[in-house]
Amino acid sequence: MAEILALVEARLRTALGEPDARAAVTFLGTDRIEVLRFIDGDVVRYATLGMSAQPMSDPTAVVADPLKGPRAELVLSVRGGLADTDQVLRKLAVLAASPQVEGLVVAPGASLDVGEPLWPGAPFTSVLVAESGGLVEDLELDEPLEPVRFLPLLPMTQNEAAWKRVRGAQELQEKWLSQGTDLRDPLRRSVTLD
């Protein structure tokens, strides 16, 4: 586990630079989850560290396989200085712990909801999990371990989350793209949905 997390942190540092802050959260019965903060000009990136220590397993499996299963970390990017986005640290740790706590398999296209604003004044309580491989490349591990995927999180308003449940993740992403939505704006309003 420690070896995997060392490789994950090295990959994050290679892709995003040196973190300027880190926080750790431990939930009862789970491994420690850290959240690292990276500053890149006017963009602040938060990345989890610890979610990939254990593979995510099918919640219907009788026994979780200690080696096989998808592994992931979460990455959230927002514009700095517009809101107190550092308050998202605990919520990201909660989302990163959800595979251990709730038996969730976090995958692209999924919605994750924390039930309260991601940070003070945020119009978002949930995120859409996007495809990996963009900002931080997947980290290959030795067989039989699956690669660690760095999954971007895209904040969704309640209206967008409801629309996504009906129409799907792909259509919501196309709607954002067609309207030139700045998904890094921590105070943005919902896109126009028809």
Decide which of 100 and 1 is more confident.
100
Q: In this structure, what are the phi and psi dihedrals at residue 175, rounded to the nearest 5 degrees?
A: -65, -45
pLDDT > 70? residue 64? no
Tokens of 94: 């909660």
Instruction: Work out the average pLDDT over 66-92.
Output: 93
pLDDT over 80 at 19, yes or no: yes
CA 100 to chain centre: 15
pLDDT at residue 193, as a whole number: 86
> What's the pLDDT score for residue 180?
95
88-108 per-position pLDDT tens digit: 999 999 999 999 888 889 999
Query: What distance lies between CA 144 and its chain's CA centroid?
Result: 24
Alpha-carbon distance 50 to 96, whole Å?
8
Q: Quick one: pLDDT band at residue 2, thresholds 50, 70, 90?
A: confident
Give the C-alpha separation, 75 to 11, whole Å: 13
pLDDT for res 71: 95
Q: What is the pLDDT of residue 62?
A: 64
Q: What is the model's pTM?
A: 0.94
